[in-house]
Amino acid sequence: MNNTYVKESDSIQKEQIRRFLDSDDFEKAKEGMERFRKLIAYYRCAMMEIETKFNVLNEEFSLRYDRNPINGMKSRIKDPLSMSEKLERKGYPLTLTSVEENLNDVAGVRVICSFPEDVYTLCDALLKQDDITLVEKKDYIANPKPNGYRSLHLIVSVPIFLAHEKRLMKVEIQLRTIAMDFWASLEHQLRYKKDAEFTCEMASELEYCAKLSAELDMRMDKLRRAVQESDSA
């Protein structure tokens, strides 16, 4: 796409918005958009800080143990519609200050680990870092959700260093194994299928699949320990 086209369509859009608003409203909307974009940029920086910390841990771990504890990482910024839905659902005001104060998951990093033990090793190593503050921890591996969902959730606060200030930003971290991620991704796809009825039988089948995935994790972890022991013998 060429830039001239983007700039032209941008200015056409602005002109269209301007027609619907008097100049005061337009200035306010513009100012609001700029503040929103700035806030999202801060969340994106915080997300990058967390990703870097996990990449460093992965590198160090692979040097020390000759294997990678992290299989993959996915990051996302919550879309504005989901932000406003969550604020409304929880009865919070729809303002930018409210987003910062009341939403802990605007920036999210999902870390897919090889084995269950890696989830806790990485969590401990991250929380030991002196610039990380733990805000909340939910262990859905030790205590799975009733539908079978398993993951370790952390809300942490991390500093970002800007040209003239330091800001503390919150990031939601989900740590899970490949098996937990496989189950959660498919469950999400099935549950949110448009117009389909989700029956009790389907829910209990999903719960059974979650048990199978937990069993798989347990067996793979046992195998990992056996390989490790035979390697050091």
Is residue 136 packed enough to be buried (19+ CB in 10 Å), middle (13-18) or exposed (0-12)?
A: exposed
Nearer to ligand 0O2, 61 or 177 (CB): 177
Residues 6+ apart with CB under 8 A from 41: none
Nearer to ligand 0O2, 19 or 194 (CB): 194
Rounded to the nearest whole angstrom, what is the least distance from the CB of residue 158 to ligand 0O2 in the complex? 18
Q: What's at 14, amino acid-wise?
A: K
Rounded to the nearest whole angstrom, what is the least distance from the CB of residue 8 to ligand 0O2 in the complex? 34
Nearer to ligand 0O2, 58 or 174 (CB): 174
CB atoms within 10 A of CB 63: 8
Beta strand 152-161 with 70-77: parallel, antiparallel or unpaired?
A: unpaired
Nearer to ligand 0O2, 57 or 175 (CB): 175
What residues line the site for ligand 0O2 (CB under 6 A)? 78, 104-105, 108, 138, 145, 147, 149, 153, 184, 187-188
Quote the tokens at residue 121.
């090793």
Measure the CA–CA gap between 64 and 211, rounded to whole angstroms: 32
Contact criterion met (CB below 8 Å) for 202 and 138: no
Nearer to ligand 0O2, 59 or 136 (CB): 136
Rounded to the nearest whole angstrom, what is the least distance from the CB of residue 215 to ligand 0O2 in the complex? 19
CB atoms within 10 A of CB 65: 13
- Residue whose CB is nearest to ligand 0O2 in the complex, by number: 149
Nearer to ligand 0O2, 61 or 154 (CB): 154
Measure the CA–CA gap between 11 and 14, rounded to whole angstroms: 5
Rounded to the nearest whole angstrom, what is the least distance from the CB of residue 93 to ligand 0O2 in the complex? 16
Measure the CA–CA gap between 31 and 108, rounded to whole angstroms: 26
Rounded to the nearest whole angstrom, what is the least distance from the CB of residue 147 to ligand 0O2 in the complex? 5
CB atoms within 10 A of CB 17: 14
Which H or E run includes 22? none
Rounded to the nearest whole angstrom, what is the least distance from the CB of residue 201 to ligand 0O2 in the complex? 18
